[in-house]
Amino acid sequence: MKLPCALTIAGSDSGGGAGVQADLKTFAALGVHGLCVITAVTAQNTRGVEAVFDLPSELVTKQLYAVMRDFEVEWAKTGMLSNTEIIQAVGAGIERYSIRAVIDPVMASTTGAPLLRGGAFESLLKLISSAELVTPNVPEAERLSGIKIKSMVDVKRAAREISELGPRAVLIKGGHLRGREVVDLLYMDGKFSEFKGPRVLGEPTHGTGCSFSAAITAELAKGTSMLGAIDSARRFIARAIESRLEVGKGIMPVNPMAVLLLDAEKGRALEEVWTAAKLLVAEPRFSKLLPEVGSNIAMALSGAKRTSDVVGLSGRIVKVGGRPRLTGYPELGGSEHVANIVLTAMHHDPGIRAGLNIRFSDEILRSCRKLGLRVVGFDRSKEPRGVKTMVWGTEQAIKKAGRVPDVIFDHGALGKEAMVRLLGRSAIEVAELALRIARRV
C-alpha cells in the first residue's frame, strides 16, 4: 500500500515554527509523505522576521514540476506566496497538474511582519478562484471580503462574499474573535457548518495557521471528507497548541509532533490500565473491596486537561459469583467519575496520574491508615449546587490535607453510595495498593 503524498508550497521559516518546516512536521505526524516547493527564504526566529528573499518564479516552477513528474500528488496547500510572479507560477502548476489546492492566504506573520508584496493581492484573488478550500483567519477574511468582522453574522457575510471568488469551500477561522469558544465557519455548497471547541488559553502561538491548513490537507490526501478533515485537523491543532514548544525567546511555536507522542503515550496508558485491571480481577480477595456500583481504574496522560485525556474502563469491575469480573476494556474517556478525581489531583500534583474507587467501610479506612496512607474525607451534604461532585470533593480533601492525599472518602448521600478512592502515580501502583488493602480486610 502506497503512502499518501501531500505537497506544501510555502516559505521557509529558519526558526522552524511555521512555513514549510511546520507543514512537513504536520504531514509526518499525520502519516502522509510530505513534499515541498519553497517559495521564499526568511531570516526569522520566535521574535520576528528579519529578512525575506523571494526565490525566482522559474525555480518555483522547476521545483513544482520536478515533484509532480515523480510523485502521485492529488492535494497540496499553499502558504507564503509573496509576489505576483510566484503566485502566477503556482497557479499555472496547479492548473497543469489538476492539483486540488487548500489555499492559506498568508498575508502577515504571527509577529505582524507583512509577507505579501504590494501588487500581489489581485493575483492571490485569482489563485483562490481555483481552490478547493481557502482558509483565512479573520483579518485575512476582512481583506478578502471587504467586510469588517465583529460577529458570527459578519463571518457568514464574509464567507459568502469570498465564495463569490470561486473556491469550492471557504473556512473562516475564528481564533481572532472573542469568546470562550473558538468557532470556525465552513461555507460549502451553499451551506454553513460550524466547528466549535474550547479556546486554548495562553500566549499567542507561532505556526498555528500553517499547521492547521497542513493538517486539513493531510487528511484530505488520505481520502477523508472535507467535513471530517476539518474536524480532525481542529483536534490536531488544539493538541499542537496545548503542547507548544518552549524554545526561543519570543512567541512559542506549535508542536505538530505532539500527536505522535500522544499516540505513543496513549498506547502505554491503555496497556497499563489493562494490566492493572487484570491484576485486580486475578485476586479473589479484591471482591471484598468492590462497591455496589463496581470499580473503575483510570490513568491520565501527561498534561491531561479533560476526561477524554484519561484512560479508563469502558465498563467496570463487578462481583460475579463472589469473584471480581471485568465488564469492559480500557479506552480514552472510559471513566468520567474517576477521571475527574485524577484530573483535579493532577492540577495540584502533576505526579498523581491514576485513581481507583473501592467500597467504603471503616475497616477499609483503618487498613489504609495502618499502611501509612494519608486518608482524608469530604462531606457531600455541603456540596454546592451546580458543581461536579468529584471535582469539588477532591478539592475539599486536598484543601483539608494541605496536599493531595493517598485516599479520599465520603459517607455518601441520598441515592449516592459511600465510596473510597485511591490515588497514585500509575494504574499498576494503585492496583497493587488496593490488593494490599484487600489482604488486610
Task: Give me the active site residues, please.
Answer: 173, 205, 207-210
Between CA 191 and CA 177 the distance in angstroms is: 21
- Measured distance CA(227)–CA(7) in Å, rounded: 20
Q: In this structure, what are the phi and psi dihedrals at residue 418, rounded to the nearest 5 degrees?
A: -60, 150
Q: Measure the CA angle with vertex 86, ends 208 and 27; round to 5°.
A: 35
> Computed from CA positions of residues 402, 403, 406, 407, in that sequence, does the dihedral angle turn out positive or negative?
positive
CA 343 to chain centre: 17
Instruction: Show the cell assigned to 361.
Output: 467501610
Please give the Cα distance from 376 to 399 (Å, whole number): 10
Q: How far apart are CA 207 and CA 21, in angstroms?
A: 10
Query: Residue-wise over 162-176: b if at least 16 C-beta within 10 A, else e?
Result: bbebebebbbbbbbe
- For the chain, give the longest Cα–Cα distance: 81
CA distance linking residue 175 with residue 204, whole number of Å:
10
CA atoms within 13 A on the CB side of 260: 11
Following CA atoms 141, 146, 147, 148 in sequence, which dihedral angle do they give, to the nearest 10 degrees? 80
